[in-house]
Amino acid sequence: MKSASELYVSLTKEHTELTNKIIKIEKFMKTDDYADLEAKEKRLLIIQQNIMFAYADILLQRIDEAKDQESMWQTFDPA
């Protein structure tokens, strides 16, 4: 099992990678190639983008949890 700090690093990396993918989709949606797609394909990309936004939000919540857990253990004094 990963420690809170390892989990924090892993989740942060995953969030960064996902954010980069979201940026790529947003850039693509401003191109002529996107404009030329059929309506169904555009709809699917919009759905994909929305799910990516939701996933990014979940990752941020998990990052906050990992941060809180790490802070709790750093301030814990068993003595």
Domains of the chain by residue range: 15-71
pLDDT on residue 68: 87
pLDDT on residue 69: 83
Query: Cα separation of 12 and 20, whole Å?
Result: 12
pLDDT by 10-residue block (mean), the chain, 79 residues:
88 98 98 99 99 99 90 58
The two structure tokens encoding residue 35: 């404009």
pLDDT on residue 20: 99
Query: Cα separation of 57 and 36, whole Å?
Result: 30
Q: Write down the pTM of the prediction.
A: 0.82
Dihedral of alpha carbons 29, 30, 34, 40, sign: positive
